Structure 1
């Protein structure tokens, strides 16, 4: 999302930051125009509120109350339109004083610039930011998918994740043993995951119902997890070959492995053992 500073830096708009410079890093989600004395209930938050100050209070106290209401409603900044035929040709001192006291950015919109130009600039910058995020996500997904199908194994996936995000990754089994790690700070990640590992281990041992999925790398896009096999199900032939991917062999420890792409909108998944191909449907995510 564009910040107040970025909007001020746009030479086509000619905006000037006259107060609240300490909060100029605020991100602006949208732009709205209102001449209401109390517009807060008509806003959703995140706006750059544009006004010509038609009903602007005549005192510092009144301006303070006006801007406080906007700040409480989540308004990120206020833009005051200036012009020879408008109520204000410059930002009133009372409004500047109140904006500095409250800490809300106050911008001035010069005479030749219509409010619609500011609105379009906000939404264009938002579209660019969303497109960049999408392009990054697609590049990251491709890199992780490529790593998952190459011989690099877990370390290759974690390395691709680190290269794409700059974040450390670690994969643990349910006994808390490190299967793979990448980047600095993996020890602190292991410590942070200990309560989660303990909780899922206890739940898995006590519950004989359906299988459980444990995301073992957090935060992560591609993950390898370990899930318990229901004790009532007999192990398939060749299950003992699964030891490289689980705390114990499939036949002996009733453990199988999960390997999948973790997508936020995914609601169901098929779980299968990578080695012996034994599988079941895990149901809703």
Structure 2
């Protein structure tokens, strides 16, 4: 709260009356000062109620007008005369100049020292009142943080400062605001935050920073959020100018609460994604079925975009990039983030546009992507996305590679599964009864170029053990590994899901692949 000229006139024990310059009654009085100098301006700082008996008032009319104009130009709050000592009345040219400048001219009947003491006492009391208001406001901010989180902090800060607030992300993009909705001053705050974020990124400014934009009517504070490392966001507060000390203090308090809130939110997001990560990893490794995944945690509706980012990044960096790309917290809760050796997998809902390129761009890594129409297709989609990421420059989706897309579209997924099941059924039934890993042995033998030594090392068995398994596979399946047609059938059966990317959209009316 500010002390105005009008309020000074009503302080206890004050006897004053307004002579001219009514527009100046709203000027803020910082101090009451006595001066009999012809030009007191060099000794003033602005906001003073200048008291005089008129000894320094120039003798000529033009000089008196210039005296008033200099005081007004220096930011004086008002001019008060004690009459009867040096002059009986205030000269007319002083009164007319004061009206023209909007500088209040008073007649003062109270001793100068009493006025100075009253003004000083008011400011001392106001400081105490301000400190009490700040303490109450800080308690209100803390309660709001506990009860409502970020929105509550912004609303409480707006209420206690009488201004408007805006929260921005680490890159300076606007987010929550109080009051809600876009305001004309928001672009200025966005520019200030983005400039500061750019300086922090290239090391030209400290991690914690703040700035003030003051146009003389309103002031906008832009304060970084965070305690170490790059800013986790920015807080912008717009209040009336000049910037009051308690507003600055409350802004700092709110910035600390918001930083802690963001850290808590980030920790919660990391924990939630870690739980989902473990379930997806189990599906990819074959320890959990797709149906069980859907039963154990919320899953977005298909189709899915499976993204492999390489090299792998920290879970914190992955989640931050994910939040920037997805933007919707509810949608983010249905996304999977799964670190794998050398890569990081994301499973997002494909809602008409691909987000893999944006994700990899945010992370500054290359990546590959593949569509999955069902949860059952996730392991195969992850393998194809990972294979693409190893050779991709930037982000490459399976659909961008014409041969892959043509090969996928040439196959009916359901027919392919039936073919594999028919060819491998005798081998799997034999494994169920007698063991022996016949399917894995056949696959290793064919993938190694029919080299028994290489396949045996890959499987970790003796070459004679592998030869016995291969012989059993030929007998049980009725297919010879020396016959090219039989080898082709076995090769397609064991590797079809790896050769052909998933995510084929069934043609209209094709019910076999639904």
The answer to whether TM tops 0.5 is yes
The answer (yes or no) to whether the contact 2:58–2:64 under 8 Å persists in 1 is: yes
* Structure 1 partner of 2:235: 217
Map Cα deviations across residues 12-37 of structure 1 (whole Å, 9 max, x no partner): 21111111111221111111111122
The answer (yes or no) to whether the contact 2:168–2:190 under 8 Å persists in 1 is: no
Work out which of the residue numbers 132, 144, 166 in structure 2 matches 1:147.
144
* Structure 2 partner of 1:104: 103
1:95 paired to 2:94: yes
- Structure 1's 45 and 191: CA in aligned 2 closer, same or farther, altered over 3 A? closer
* Structure 2 partner of 1:61: 62
Higher helix share: 2
Quote the offset at 1:131 in angstroms: 2.6
- State the distance in 1 between where 2:22 and 2:106 align: 10
* Structure 1 partner of 2:430: none
* Structure 2 partner of 1:125: 122
SS where residue 79 of structure 2 aligns? strand
Work out which of the residue numbers 310, 313, 316 in structure 2 matches 1:250.
316
Work out which of the residue numbers 238, 241, 244 in structure 1 matches 2:271.
241
- State the distance in 1 between where 2:39 and 2:200 align: 55
The answer (yes or no) to whether the contact 1:170–1:186 under 8 Å persists in 2 is: no
* Structure 2 partner of 1:258: none
- State the distance in 1 between where 2:192 and 2:123 align: 37
- Structure 1's 19 and 50: CA in aligned 2 closer, same or farther, altered over 3 A? same
SS where residue 50 of structure 2 aligns? strand
What is the Cα-based RMSD across aligned positions, in Å? 3.6
- State the distance in 1 between where 2:167 and 2:273 align: 16
Query: TM-score, with normalisation over the residues of structure 1?
Result: 0.67
- Structure 1's 166 and 186: CA in aligned 2 closer, same or farther, altered over 3 A? farther
Number of equivalenced pairs: 236
The answer (yes or no) to whether the contact 1:82–1:90 under 8 Å persists in 2 is: yes
SS where residue 160 of structure 2 aligns? helix
Map Cα deviations across residues 150-193 of structure 1 (whole Å, 9 max, x no partner): 25322332333344345444434346777655433356676555
- State the distance in 1 between where 2:19 and 2:9 align: 11
Larger RCO (CA within 8 A; separation ≥ 6) = 1
Question: Structure 1, unaligned stretches of length 5 or more?
Answer: 227-237, 256-285
SS where residue 87 of structure 1 aligns? coil
Question: Structure 2, unaligned stretches of length 5 or more?
Answer: 208-228, 238-250, 261-267, 275-313, 322-514
* Structure 1 partner of 2:134: 137
The answer (yes or no) to whether the contact 2:24–2:103 under 8 Å persists in 1 is: yes
* Structure 1 partner of 2:155: 159
- State the distance in 1 between where 2:111 and 2:201 align: 66
SS where residue 218 of structure 1 aligns? strand
1:3 paired to 2:4: yes
- State the distance in 2 between where 1:61 and 1:156 align: 58
- State the distance in 1 between where 2:65 and 2:97 align: 5
Query: TM-score, with normalisation over the residues of structure 2?
Result: 0.40
The answer (yes or no) to whether the contact 2:172–2:197 under 8 Å persists in 1 is: no
